[in-house]
Amino acid sequence: MMGSRVFQLESLLDRCLDLGASDLHLATDDHPYFRVHGVLRSDGTSPRITAAQIEQWARETTGQSTGPVVRDSGSYDCALTSKQGVRFRVNIYKVRGRIHLALRRLDDHFRPLSELGLPESLTQLCLQPYGLVVIAGPTGSGKTTTLATLLDHINQTRRCHLITIEDPVEYLHQSNLALVNQRQLGIDTPSFNDALVAAMRQDPDVILVGEIRDLTTIRTAITAAETGHLVFTTVHAGDCVGAIERMVSVFPAGEQDGIRRQLALVLRAVVAQLLVVADGSGRKTRSKDEEEPKGRRVLAAEILMANQAVANLIATSKSNLIYSAMESGTQQGMQTMEHSLATLYLRGDISEQTVNALARKPAQVFERASRMRTRATETA
C-alpha cells in the first residue's frame, strides 16, 4: 500500500513537470491544483486525495514515522527530489486540523543571470572580499533562484569556504573550486542566528543566510559582514529602499542610527525583484481552441549598488534621496524599477495596465520607454 501511495505522488510530480507548472497544491478531500504560468487550476481528472494518502506523503517527505507531522508553528519546510531528478521545495501545513502540501518546483540547473532577466555585471558582487548583499522581493519572486546562480558562480570561480543556512535547502551545490557546506534549519541547526554565530567559527569566506527575519539575525549578519565575510541574504520587501528600511526598523529607535551607520559600511548591493505575467502585445498566445493565453513571467528588477554617495544617504537617514542616486548611477550598474518596467514595456512583454499597477510613477515609465524607442530609432 505504501508503494502505491509513493507512486501516486510521483505521478503528480510527473504531471507537474509535463504541464510546466511552477507549483503543486495537495489538500485532503480535494483534487490536485497546479499553477501553470501564474494561473492556478484544478486537475479534475485526478482522484481526490484522502487524509491517509496526504499524511503518508508528508511523513515520507519529512522522514517522520511517528509523532506530529508539522512543527508547533503549524507548518514544516523541507525539500524532495523526484525520480526524474527534479527538486521541489515543500511546505506542509494544517488547515482546520487537516494536512495540506504546497510544492514549488525548482530549476534543475543553475541559470545564467541574463536568462533570469538580470545583468551579468552582478557577478562582480561575487568577487567582493566582504560585505552584505541583499536580494529583496515578495514570496515567489525568484529570490532563491537568483542567489543560487550567484553562489554557483562563486563555486565555479573562487577557492573559498561557502556555508549556506537554509530553510529548507533547495538548490544543491556540489563543491567545485569552493568547499560548499549547506545546513538546513530544523535538521542541522535550530535557528538562522545559531547557525550564523557558529558559522563564524568554521573558517568561512562566504555565508548565505536564507532569510533575515529578526533583530538578532540581522545584527549577526551585519557583524559577520564587518568581520571579513561576504554575506548573502534575502528580505521580504518590495523595493531597495524598503529592504533597507525593513532591516533598520526591527531595531529599537535608540539603536537605529547606529545600525544605519553599520549598514552603510558593509552593504554592497540590494537587488529588488518581481516576477510579472507577460501580458503585453508581444506575448505568445495559445491556439484559438485553447481557453487561456499561454502566459509566461518576466523579471522586473531594480538594482542599488552601495557606492559612497548611497552609503552616506543610508548613514544619515536620507533614504528618500536614494532613488535620485540610483537614477544617476546607471554607469555603476544601478537601475530603478521604472527603468526595468520601461524596458519590459518597450519590448512588448508587459501591458500598459501592468505598468499602471506596478510603477510608483507610471507616467515616468511611459516617458522613459518613449525616449528609449526614439534613441533606438536614431541609432538604427
For 102-124, the DSSP string reads: EEEE--SSPPPHHHHTS-GGGGG
Coil, helix or strand for 351?
Answer: coil
Q: What share of the chain has pLDDT > 70, as a percent?
A: 94
| The dihedral sign for the CA sequence 30, 31, 34, 40 | negative
User: What's the DSSP call for residue 185?
Assistant: B
Of 335 and 187, which is predicted with more confidence? Answer: 335
Q: What residues contact residue 8 under an 8 Å CB cut-off, 6+ apart?
A: 53
- Confidence band, pLDDT 50/70/90 cuts, at residue 6: very low
pLDDT, position 3:
40
Cα separation, 157 vs 152, in Å, equals 9
Phi and psi for 133 in degrees, rounded to 5?
Answer: -120, 125
In a domain, 343, yes or no: no
Q: Which residues pair with 155 in a beta bridge?
A: none
Asked if 75 and 185 touch (Cβ cutoff 8 Å), the reply is no
Instruction: Please tell me whether residues 276 and 153 are part of one structural domain.
Output: yes
Phi and psi for 282 in degrees, rounded to 5?
Answer: -95, 5
In a domain, 352, yes or no: no
In a domain, 348, yes or no: no
CATH code at position 229: 3.40.50.300
In a domain, 261, yes or no: yes
pLDDT, position 69:
74
Mean pLDDT lowest among 22-31, 72-81, 220-229, 340-349: 72-81
CA distances for 30 relative to 20, 47, 105, 164, angstroms: 21, 8, 21, 37
Instruction: Please tell me whether residues 69 and 146 are part of one structural domain.
Output: no
Q: What is the dihedral of CA 142, 147, 149, 154, to 10 degrees?
A: 180
Last residue of a domain, one of 105, 121, 142: 105
Instruction: Please tell me whether residues 48 and 143 are part of one structural domain.
Output: no
Cα separation, 274 vs 137, in Å, equals 6
Instruction: Please tell me whether residues 203 and 327 are part of one structural domain.
Output: yes
Q: What residues contact residue 1 under an 8 Å CB cut-off, 6+ apart?
A: none
Cα separation, 154 vs 160, in Å, equals 8
Does the pLDDT at position 287 exceed 60?
no
Instruction: Please tell me whether residues 127 and 88 are part of one structural domain.
Output: no
- Confidence band, pLDDT 50/70/90 cuts, at residue 73: low
pLDDT, position 260:
97
Instruction: Please tell me whether residues 212 and 280 are part of one structural domain.
Output: yes
Last residue of a domain, one of 335, 356, 371: 335
- Confidence band, pLDDT 50/70/90 cuts, at residue 350: very high
What average pLDDT does the segment 361-380 reach?
Answer: 90
Q: What is the pLDDT of residues 96-145, one digit of tens each?
A: 888 999 999 988 789 999 999 999 999 999 999 999 999 999 988 999 99
In a domain, 248, yes or no: yes
Last residue of a domain, one of 75, 105, 135: 105
pLDDT, position 286:
40
Instruction: Please tell me whether residues 80 and 149 are part of one structural domain.
Output: no
Cα separation, 168 vs 211, in Å, equals 11
Instruction: Please tell me whether residues 246 and 127 are part of one structural domain.
Output: yes
pLDDT, position 274:
95
The pTM of this model reads 0.85
Q: What is the pLDDT of residues 304-328, one digit of tens each?
A: 999 999 999 999 999 999 999 999 9
Does the pLDDT at position 63 exceed 90?
no
In a domain, 240, yes or no: yes
* Helix ranges restricted to H, the chain: 2-19, 51-62, 113-116, 143-157, 192-199, 215-226, 240-249, 253-266, 308-315, 322-327, 337-346, 352-358, 362-379
Of 192 and 295, which is predicted with more confidence? Answer: 192
What average pLDDT does the segment 41-52 reach?
Answer: 89
Cα separation, 182 vs 202, in Å, equals 13
Asked if 170 and 87 touch (Cβ cutoff 8 Å), the reply is yes
The mean predicted confidence, pLDDT, of the chain is 90
CATH code at position 85: 3.30.450.90
CA nearest neighbour of 261 among 274, 244, 273, 276: 244
Instruction: Please tell me whether residues 242 and 274 are part of one structural domain.
Output: yes
Cα separation, 77 vs 89, in Å, equals 8
Q: Which domain holds residue 85?
A: 2-105
- Confidence band, pLDDT 50/70/90 cuts, at residue 60: confident
In a domain, 377, yes or no: no
Does the pLDDT at position 275 exceed 80?
yes
In a domain, 157, yes or no: yes
Does the pLDDT at position 372 exceed 80?
yes
Instruction: Please tell me whether residues 195 and 289 are part of one structural domain.
Output: yes
- Confidence band, pLDDT 50/70/90 cuts, at residue 289: very low
Cα separation, 166 vs 153, in Å, equals 18
DSSP class per residue in 35-76: EETTEEEE-TTSPPPPHHHHHHHHHHHHT--SS-SS-TTSEE
Structurally, the chain folds into a number of domains equal to: 2
